Amino acid sequence: MNDAIDQVMAVMDAAFEPAFGEAWNRKQVLDVLALPGTYLLLAGTHGGEPADGAEVVGFALSRAVLGEEELLLLAVHPKHRGRGLGTVLLERFVAAARAHGSARLFLEMRDGNSAETLYRRQGFTSIGLRRHYYRRGAAGPFDAITFALDC
Ligand SMILES: CC(C)(COP(=O)(O)OP(=O)(O)OC[C@H]1O[C@@H](n2cnc3c(N)ncnc32)[C@H](O)[C@@H]1OP(=O)(O)O)[C@@H](O)C(=O)NCCC(=O)NCCS
């Protein structure tokens, strides 16, 4: 498990622009993973679960609560972007949520993040806006758009 967290943190630190303040630190990741219903999906170089000891190049962190599920983080290492890995991870998240019996999926995205294309393509629609939700980055604050998908 520690190895997986090390790999997730390496992707996290490379994937998120510090100026936007979206990345989580190791403690935040460990604390949320200790909550019931929270799980990590890891992506190897082909997007699927990496074989034992293989490189982790992306991840999704999600939490299922009472028939709903929230995608907390989605990231692909910059060296591996633009090859569909983010799409595969998102599809795996939706499939996992359906398998858990979740009826509705949510995610928050910084307004202006180009990941919006990815989410809309998967069928997510925007349902709300949280003003100045991302405050930790030097470039902010930024609004968050809430997206939802009915399973
Ligand atoms: C969002 C992210 C996971 C996408 O990963 P990816 O492996 O490049 O995704 P895909 O190859 O499946 O691309 C899907 C589409 O998303 C869009 N897209 C996503 N991120 C993009 C970026 N940084 N720049 C340009 N387009 C981007 C593109 O339209 C792309 O489609 P296209 O290749 O047909 O043009 C990755 O860019 C990332 O880790 N970003 C930083 C973390 C982040 O912002 N996560 C989302 C909010 S939690």
User: What one-character-per-residue DSSP string does 8-35 give?
Assistant: HHHHHHHHS-GGGT-PPPHHHHHHHHTS
CA distance 121 to 130: 22
Decide: residue 79, CB within 10 A, 0-12 exposed, 13-18 middle, 19+ buried.
exposed
Domain of 27, in residue numbers: 2-150
Specify the pTM. Answer: 0.94
Domain total in the chain:
1
| pLDDT digit string, tens, across residues 82-114 | 999 999 999 999 999 999 999 999 999 999 999
Q: CB within 6 Å of ligand 1 — which residues?
A: 15-16, 73-76, 81-87, 109, 113-115, 117-118
Of 42, 74, 118, 134, the residue with max ligand 1 atoms within 8 A of its CB, to mutate for a pocket test, comes to 118
pLDDT at residue 2 in the model = 65
Q: What is the CATH number of the domain that holds 31?
A: 3.40.630.30
